[in-house]
Structure 1
Amino acid sequence: MVEMHHFVLFIGLLFVPSTLEQLLADLPGKARWCVTSEAELKKCSDMRLTLRYQGLTPSLGCVVGRDKYGCMRQIERDEADLLTLDSGDVYIAGQQHSMISIMAEQYTGTNNKVRIIALVAANNDDIRSLPDLEGKKACFPSVGTSAWNVAVAKLINSTINRIDCNNYVKSAVDFFGDSCAPNALDDKHNLGFNPSKICKICKAPTRVDECTDHDHYAGEEGAFNCLSDGAGEVAFMQHITAISMTTGETQAGRRMEDFELLCEDGRRQPLGNYESCNWGTVPSNAVMTLSAKTPAEVAEYKNLLMQVQARFRPQTQGITSYVGVNQTGNSRDFRVFGSPWKYGKRNLMFSDAAIGLEDVGKRNNLRDYLGAYKTDIIDGLRSCPVAVMRWCVLSADEREKCDNMKRAFEAKLLRPELICVSAQSQVECMRFVRDGVADMVSLDGGEAYEAGIGFGMVPVVYEDYGSGDAAYYSVAVSLKQDKDTNLLKLRGKNSCHTGIGKTAGWIMPIGLLLALEQIRIDSRRDDTCDIAYAVGQFFEKSCVPGALAPEFDPKHRNPPNLCSLCRGTGGAFCKRDDSEPYYGYSGALRCLLEGFGDVAFVRHTTVAENTDGQSPGIWIRGTILDDFELLCLDGTRAHVQQWSTCNLGRVPSHVVMTQGGKSPQEIQTYIDLLMYGQQYFSSKQGDRFKMFVSPEGHHDLMFQDSTVRLQPVGERNTYDKYLGREFITAIENTLCISGSPSITSMSVLLFATALIVRLL
């Protein structure tokens, strides 16, 4: 079936064949050219018919794309074949859409190189140096093009402050005044943070077209018009554009002497001096196709283009007559490298300044085609003063996810580079961060306290579980069928915990039981703050991952029954990471469901996240939300969804922390990387990498699976500000490990008072 855009093509044809059937039989052609405007469609259609009646093969087809990025996606999906791109867009097409260059445009007297120039009106005396550009209205063909890349890269190296490693648009916006940089608000270059003033002086036929490829000031011609119309004060473009717009049959009254060049050193020169007064040299525009095309297909495309230029290129240097034929075989003008004479727009399909095409041969990949332009300009533009962000991970599975995140970030060109560092425990991660071996680690509230007070670390971003704030609720869960278990009668029961020292699984429930004096400290022992021993005496059996680890049991005196319900094998037994099946929120719930525990201490979202088919784990299949109930502070039970009134306390979300000595720039760079990363990878659907989803059989790797987004901590940028006094009091009641504060009757009283207030 002929697709709808082929009917659009038919309507736009300038020359209609003798029969409709004849047209449809030839659509869409073996070499499908992607066009982005009505004018370009008309030229492509004209060229298609001309080639057809000349008997040239393969046949040419015309496919309509939304814009150049839409065309890149269509070529990647094999819905189109060919597209001509500026060298800056060549990089985007190759890096993000698996495209390669096959033919390069040739220009008169340029050695197939293009100079990027800064053009100003000759009568403008306000711009005489690069610093003079600050606050001025600037015109660009498009963000990502060679003119944009060269201009911003050179200014960042000399004049502009780099604000964001992943968004140099923000740096340009901060430097220039109201400007027109088409596509600055497109998803390719904007993740929701670009100020609208970067498009303030753009001029579009409709609001939808504003700051897109369809804006009147988009493209090389548009950037020139933006300046010549007086909307902008400086325009960055290819030199061939300025020359062709001020000479020949399309100058429309604009003369070369009306404009001057602004050189890199601040001098002003006549437009004709572009060889000595330019901002850099870039490769010529290139015709591109998908890298997956077979050598035979690529050879066909090249052969067609060589035939086209052999018959329809200029016969002398400059714009002369191009001979084609119409459907009746009569001679007429057709200019493959010319556009304004007939279509009213410049640079359609090819640059108007081009005089021919050359086969790029083996220089079809990004590195070889772009050469020094890539290494000096694009790579320099994307460089970051903060070279790496090293993330500390625990288990082998967490390391694998981190490595996948690194590759996903690299595919989106995000900076700085993510490096994964493995450690044996959260405490070792804290040590690594303190000593400069790692930069970031994700911790729960209890761990955040230890990281802050013991290792001088500070919070950076927190996990938002959908409530919009940095908090969640700790709850006690039991099976609905077990009516004998309640919070006031837990002595002698079996318990499932997320991990020793963890917020929902240890600090809140044990703090509560201490405050209610259900758990009592044995004062006859020589260590009057041996809470782990007291917990072991209170519960019959438990799984408290990490309870026997050296950092939590330095004297090897913690009771073995704290791990007797755990199910890890070998070195993973009762380990405080994902290698222990009963570790974490889902692990504690699994411990309960599989019949080993009477109560599980988890987060308020844990049951809903795992039941009713929400989790792929075999252990949870067939269970529903109503199989569980919450245990409330007054001894009653409640539905799992009543966590706002039946809970053990509202506690701080998990938080990503870094070394306290990091500079504000370093910390902001880390935040920016995570913010951009989640813009691409926060979705829990689809096949691509997911930041907040763990592989089947695992849970809560790097981030909690219930995370919706990450949020900067803002002014709560110290551990005590982030955690809050009430929670710190709860921690100090329970973290009786080496070097931790001793429990006091006053701290118990404070925690008990807070609980009573919540009950009231």
Structure 2
Amino acid sequence: MHLDFATSRLYLLLISAAVLTTLIESVGQLKLCVVSTVQRAKVVEANCGDFRNDAFKCVIVSDRIECLRKIVNGKADFAVFEPEDLFVSKNFIEGHILITHEVRLFPNETSNYKMVVLVRNKIRSLSDLYGKKFCHPGYDTMEYDWTPLYADHLQNQMIPKKCDDSASLLENRFVALSEWFEAACFPGPWTFSPKREVDRNLKSKHLNLCAICDNGACQINDKYGGRMGSVMCLTEGDGDVAWVRLEDAKEYFKMEMINTSRYKFLCPDGIARRVNFSKDLPCTWISRPWPVIAARSEEAARVARVVDGLEHLNAPWQVLLLLLMEGHRAASVRIDPFKTPEDYLNKFTGLSSAYAGSTCYPSRAVRWCLSSNLEDRKCYWLRHAALSFGFQPEITCLQLAGRNASIDGVATGFCDFYVARPEELMIAKTKNLTSILQMTSAYLKHFNNIVILVKKTSSYRTIRDLKGAKACFTKYRSVGWNAFVSFMNNYTMDSTWSCSDEKALSGFFKSIIVPDAKVEDDQAIAQTIKCLMSGRGDVAFVTLQEKFIDHLDVRRICVEDVPDPDCILTWSTLGSVMVNENLPDVRRRDIISVLEEMNTWFGVRHPEPTPIISLYEPYDSYHNVIFPELTVNLLQNINHVQLPRPYTDIVEHLIKVRNDPLICGSRSTKSHYSIFMLLIVTVLMNSRILFNESIP
């Protein structure tokens, strides 16, 4: 039997397809873990969709640490990781994950980059650096592979650590740098705070660290800023020593035809050696690994064969796989034999000492109170991600038995800070907690804006009309509850509203309906809306969320003291980071510093193509874990927000009035509590049944 070429080719393709089908059926699809961000979502969805019925399928997650966990749990087989992820992966049992390939932009380079110390000839040893002029590239968060671990490595290895307990760790770092060098150029921001005066104040104390910058002010656009800038600072400016990437120095010296005999490498062993870019001298202080492909150990060999085959693209699925692995511009170089993450990292100069770090005694770690297993697990991974980036101070995660217990933990000094919801502000304030950072959204409409809603067909038009109505609140003493109490106190000039809010409310409304206290915030809002729309209630006090009211037949009742087109009763941020009022200011600055750093690298505007972990995205498919999803920033100051009746003012006013014996006398906010609870308990029980029913 003779077959022509076309028939033979078709025959071979059919055999190949049959073999592929058999392979898939026998060993299953390979599961590629892919990180999807807002920027990549459409591409990821489209490319993953084209994988269907092939040998692969996508497991889509929101960050790279989730990919690590998916691989360890057997829910994914392989993914692309950065060096920081490999450091974090050491927390898993050894052997679960193996490195199969490096993803190299330059195939012949064994590392992403190497950091060296370039000095003038007059410097012969490490001790000669004291009192010299230092050129640093600065912190550049646009260079996602230039983390604080690498930016601060030379200082951490060479300069004695400062641990002055009257200064934050950030302040100590620049004090040490300022005292070691006579002058420097450390361009760009020194902090990760959006509050610019923090950076200005720090620089004003250490003017010598900007003295040899081109403009003398450490501006972000300084001539000597950035990777090439630090080389120029040494060769063109007044610098004596520069912290530079080896390849940048090599390129600049060649481009500018600089005489290498005027400079030396200062090596970690303390010896200054002649500059020779053609030799592999032992002068690297720290090197950064390439991104890698890592696989579940049981599938590592199979993954390696697939990745090896990508060198020659013969099928559409191979192109899709490369695109999803972000490897279309890089070469995959096989690691033989496969290595565990720890063994792989150990072969790179300086990484072990960088991760070991140095600490102050006693420890300056900050203690974070968490209220659930889910929050504690997220904090655990945030802590290790922060360590992998070189953030300071270190974070300790402390789980307590619920949200009230966490507030008590801060109040008693058991832990240093807690992330509180708006509903918790009143109780936190009464226990002497204070806010140091506010969680804000990109748009004012996404803040926690409280409104009064009634049905469009309702006869209620004003606040006065609501007397005798059935009121639906999201919680007992919720933000809406307290805001209405405060407004009525001012409106009626009757202090009963502030001093005995339960008595005043129960006298004003016919009945009060609130969900079960254990219901989550979003569910509470939905149930409160349902309370109104079902007819069980006449008016609802809720957060203005578009998803709940866009298509509902409702309207708002405006309060009458301030013209407001949105009819907002009160507003708050999405939450706040709270500490004990008696916590020393330096501890506050340490907490603020590390959280602002995490917001920069792990927040909405993370510089990496894919985040190692996300502060605000869902965690394990759960929403609003620790931080609300709508958060985009952590701010020390929110004076720029111009909305009427801020909830912080209402809380301060109510607490002040209730603590004033001349106003409330012997009456207290607790005096009518037991009576009111007897009144409301039946309503509470009925509301649970009500909210489980379908709306008629």
**If the TM-score is normalised by the length of the shorter chain, which range does it land in?**
0.5 to 0.7
The secondary structure found in structure 2 opposite 1:477 is: strand
Name the CA distance, whole Å, in 1 between partners of 2:149 and 2:377: 32
The answer to whether structure 1 residue 477 and structure 2 residue 398 are counterparts is: no
Contact 1:462 1:655 in 2 (8 A): yes
**Aligned position for 2:486:** 511
Query: Is residue 357 of structure 2 the alignment partner of residue 380 of structure 1?
Result: yes
Tell me the residue number matched to 1:589: 529
- Deviation digits for residues 278-330 of structure 1, max 9, x if unmatched? 988668x8787522495478589999x9xxxxxxxxxxxxxxxxxxxxxxxxx
Query: Aligned in 2, Cα 1:578/1:212: closer, same or farther, shift over 3 Å?
Result: farther
Task: Trace 1:297-696 onto structure 2 (pairs within 5 A).
Answer: 361=337, 363=339, 365-370=341-346, 373-380=350-357, 386-393=364-371, 399-400=373-374, 403-404=377-378, 406-407=380-381, 410-411=384-385, 413=388, 415=391, 416-417=394-395, 419=397, 421-426=399-404, 428-443=405-420, 447-452=424-429, 454-466=430-442, 474-484=450-460, 486-503=462-479, 505-517=480-492, 530-544=500-514, 566=515, 574-575=516-517, 577-579=518-520, 583=524, 585-603=525-543, 606-608=544-546, 610-612=548-550, 623-624=551-552, 627-633=553-559, 643-644=564-565, 646-648=567-569, 654-679=575-600, 680-682=602-604, 691=615
2:453–2:539 Cα contact (<8 Å) kept = yes
Q: Contact conserved, 2:99 with 2:344, CA < 8 A, in 1? A: no
Distance between the aligned counterparts of 2:612 and 2:573, measured in 1? 30
Change (3 A) 1:513 1:706: farther
Note the C-alpha offset of 1:697: 11
Paired with 1:150 and 1:696, the residues of 2 have a C-alpha distance of: 34
Letter in 2 for 1:611: I
Residue 231 to residue 438, structure 1, CA distance change in 2 (3 Å): same
- 1:631 Cα deviation after fit: 1.5
Aligned residues: 512
TM-score in terms of structure 2 length = 0.54
Q: Which residue of 2 aligns with 1:151?
A: 154
Q: Is contact 1:143-1:149 (8 Å) kept?
A: no
Q: 2:57 aligns to what?
A: none
Q: Which residue of 1 is the match for residue 83 of structure 2?
A: 91
**Distance in 2 separating the partners of 1:236 and 1:93:** 25
1:451/1:457 contact within 8 Å kept: yes
Q: Is 1:461–1:710's contact at 8 Å kept on the other side of the alignment? A: yes
CA RMSD in angstroms comes to 6.6
Confirm whether residue 233 of structure 1 aligns to residue 233 of structure 2.
no
One-letter code aligned to 1:235: A
- The structure-2 alpha-carbon separation of the partners of 1:210 and 1:288, relative to structure 1 and needing over 3 Å to count, comes to farther
- Deviations 1:690-739, CA, capped at 9 Å, x for gaps: 655678999866445554533114999xxxxx977665334555x6xxx8
CA contact (8 A) 2:436 2:576 kept: yes
Structure 1 pair 115–489 and aligned structure 2 pair: CA distance change class (3 A): closer
Unaligned runs of 5+ in 1: 1-82, 84-88, 106-111, 306-348, 351-356, 523-527, 545-565, 567-573, 613-622, 717-721, 748-760
Which structure has more relative contact order (CA 8 Å, sep 6+)? It is 2
Residues 213-292 of structure 1 aligned to structure 2 (within 5 Å)? 217=228, 223=231, 227-228=234-235, 232-236=239-243, 254=259, 258-259=262-263, 271=274, 289-292=292-295
- Aligned partners of 2:455 and 2:469: how far apart in 1? 13
Q: Is the 8 A contact 2:267 2:285 kept in 1?
A: no
2:48 match:
none
Contact in 2 for aligned 1:495/1:597 (Cα 8 Å): yes
Instruction: Note if contact 1:476-1:601 (Cα within 8 Å) is conserved in structure 2.
Output: yes
Kept after mapping to 2: 8 A contact 1:115/1:238: yes
- In the alignment, the residues of structure 2 paired with residue 580 and residue 146 of structure 1 have an alpha-carbon distance, to the nearest angstrom, of 38
SS for the counterpart of 1:391 is strand
Q: Does the 8 Å CA contact 1:507/1:731 hold for their aligned counterparts? A: no
* In 2: Cα distance, 1:437 partner to 1:164 partner: 21
Deviation string 1:48-100 (CA, Å, 9 cap, x unpaired) is: xxxxxxxxxxxxxxxxxxxxxxxxxxxxxxxxxxx9xxxxx983585699994
Counterpart residue identity of residue 610, structure 1 = F
- What's the CA shift for 1:488? 0.8
SS of structure 1 residue aligned to 2:413:
coil
| One-letter amino acid of the structure 1 residue matched with residue 557 of structure 2 | L
Mapped contact 1:442–1:656 kept (Cα < 8 A): yes
Q: CA deviation at 1:501?
A: 3.1
What residue identity is the alignment partner of 1:400?
A: L
Answer whether contact 1:402 1:702 (CA < 8 A) is retained: no
Contact 1:104 1:287 (8 Å CA) reproduced: yes
Q: 1:494: Cα distance to partner?
A: 1.2
Q: Which residue of 1 aligns with 2:59?
A: none
Which residue is equivalent to 1:320? none
Give runs of aligned pairs for residues 695-714 of structure 1, distance below 5 A.
702-704=626-628, 707-713=631-637
- 2:434 is paired with a residue of what secondary structure? strand
The alpha-carbon distance between structure 1 residues 234 and 477, as it changes in their structure 2 partners (threshold 3 A), is same
CA deviation vs aligned residue, 1:620-657 (integer Å, no higher than 9, x gap): xxx34xx221113459xx9xxx8457344566874321
**Residue 376 of structure 1: SS of its match in structure 2?**
helix
Task: Determine if contact 2:570/2:647 at 8 Å carries over to the other structure.
Answer: no
Q: Give the letter aligned to residue 134 of structure 2.
A: K
Which stretch has the larger CA shift, 481-490 or 695-704? 695-704
Give the aligned partner of residue 679 of structure 2. none
* Shift in alpha-carbon separation, 1:229–1:531, aligned structure 2, 3 A: closer
Cα deviation, residue 431, structure 1 = 1.5
- For the 8 Å contact 1:391–1:441, the answer to whether it is kept is yes
| CA positional deviation for 1:509 | 0.9
Structure number, greater radius of gyration: 1
- What is the alpha-carbon distance in structure 1 between the residues aligned to residue 489 and residue 477 of structure 2? 15
Name the CA distance, whole Å, in 1 between partners of 2:422 and 2:290.
55
* Distance 1:170-1:732 versus aligned 2 partners, 3 A rule: same
Which residue number corresponds to residue 62 of structure 1?
none
Counterparts of 1:173 and 1:518, CA distance in 2: 59
What corresponds to 2:27 in structure 1? none
Query: C-alpha separation between the residues in 2 aligned to 1:160 and 1:261?
Result: 30
Secondary structure of 1:489 counterpart = helix
